């Protein structure tokens, strides 16, 4: 698992499924993030176990959902946006799985869960610093973090 792999998978999914224009951006520090977030969490088990988290501001989440459904962001309700973020992280996980399979890695994906709210802190049952990928889309950033247990690293 590498940040490049995660970035490639996320770019592919965001472009193909959400029709987003994607470019690299500087890693975001905690202070630059909005206090309001939509967070999609996907568990992975197998030879590369870990937890993949996608988060962005609600406006970006709505824009991505709108891109997926070819609808204006303000036409979408919260449930649809939440559903869309879950689907995006699921597809990113699936794409990572596909790319890992080429090098013999085998993982299985859990059903994603999505939460939204303000002033949330993200704490994952992993070790240390996660792999971090921040991508620029129209209107803001989409961030991904991947935590893996210490014994799975290498």
Partner 1 sequence: MKKVLTVDDSKVVRTMVTRALAPYGCQILEAANGKEGVEVAQRERPDLILLDVTMPVMDGREALIEIRKAPDIQQTPVIMLTAESGRDLVLEIAKLGVKGYIVKPFTAETFAAEVDKVLGAPGGQPVAAVAKANPKCVLVVDDSERVLEMVKSTLAASAEVVTAASGADAIARYGESKAGLVIVDLVMPDMDGFATLAKLKAQGVSGSRFVALSVRGDADAKEKALKAGFVAVVEKPIQADALQALLAGGGEGDESGDGFVADEAGCPVLVVPDAQTKSFGHFLPAAQKALRALAEDGNDRVIVDLAAVTVVNTALVKCVVEVMAQAMGMGLKTAVCATGPTAKALKDVAETRDAVYAETRQAARAAVS
Interacting residues with partner 1 (CB under 8 A): 4-5, 7-8, 11-13, 16-17, 65, 68-70, 79-80, 83-84, 86-87, 90-91, 93-95, 97-99, 101-102, 106, 108-109, 111
Contact 73, 61 (CB under 8 A): no
Q: Which is nearer to partner 1, 33 or 94 (CB)?
A: 94
Phi/psi at 61 (nearest 5 deg)? Answer: -60, -40
Nearest approach in angstroms of CB 78 to partner 1 is 12
In 3-state terms, what secondary structure has residue 109? strand
CA 3, distance to chain mean position in Å, is 12
Q: Which is nearer to partner 1, 4 or 32 (CB)?
A: 4
From CA 60, how far away is CA 66, in angstroms rounded?
10
Nearest approach in angstroms of CB 56 to partner 1 is 16
- With residue 52 as reference, give the H or E element that holds it: strand 50-56
From CA 78, how far away is CA 61, in angstroms rounded?
10
In 3-state terms, what secondary structure has residue 66? helix
Nearest approach in angstroms of CB 47 to partner 1 is 12
Nearest approach in angstroms of CB 85 to partner 1 is 9
Nearest approach in angstroms of CB 121 to partner 1 is 27
From CA 40, how far away is CA 106, in angstroms rounded?
22
Q: Which is nearer to partner 1, 95 or 148 (CB)?
A: 95
Q: Which is nearer to partner 1, 94 or 139 (CB)?
A: 94
Q: Which is nearer to partner 1, 27 or 108 (CB)?
A: 108
């Amino acid at each position: 698992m590498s940040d490049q792999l995660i970035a490639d998978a996320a770019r592919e999914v965001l472009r193909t499924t959400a029709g987003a224009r994607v470019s690299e951006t500087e890693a975001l520090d905690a202070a630059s993030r909005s206090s309001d977030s939509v967070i999609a969490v996907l568990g992975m088990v197998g030879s590369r176990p870990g937890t993949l988290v996608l988060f962005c501001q609600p406006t970006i989440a709505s824009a991505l959902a709108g891109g997926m459904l070819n609808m204006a962001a303000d036409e979408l309700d919260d449930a649809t946006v939440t559903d869309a973020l879950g689907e995006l992280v699921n597809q990113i996980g699936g794409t990572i799985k596909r790319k890992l399979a080429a090098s013999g890695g085998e993982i299985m994906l859990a059903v994603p869960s999505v939460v939204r709210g303000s002033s949330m802190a993200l704490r994952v049952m992993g070790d240390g610093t996660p792999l971090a990928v921040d991508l620029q889309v129209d209107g803001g950033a989409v961030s991904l973090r991947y935590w893996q247990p210490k014994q799975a690293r290498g």
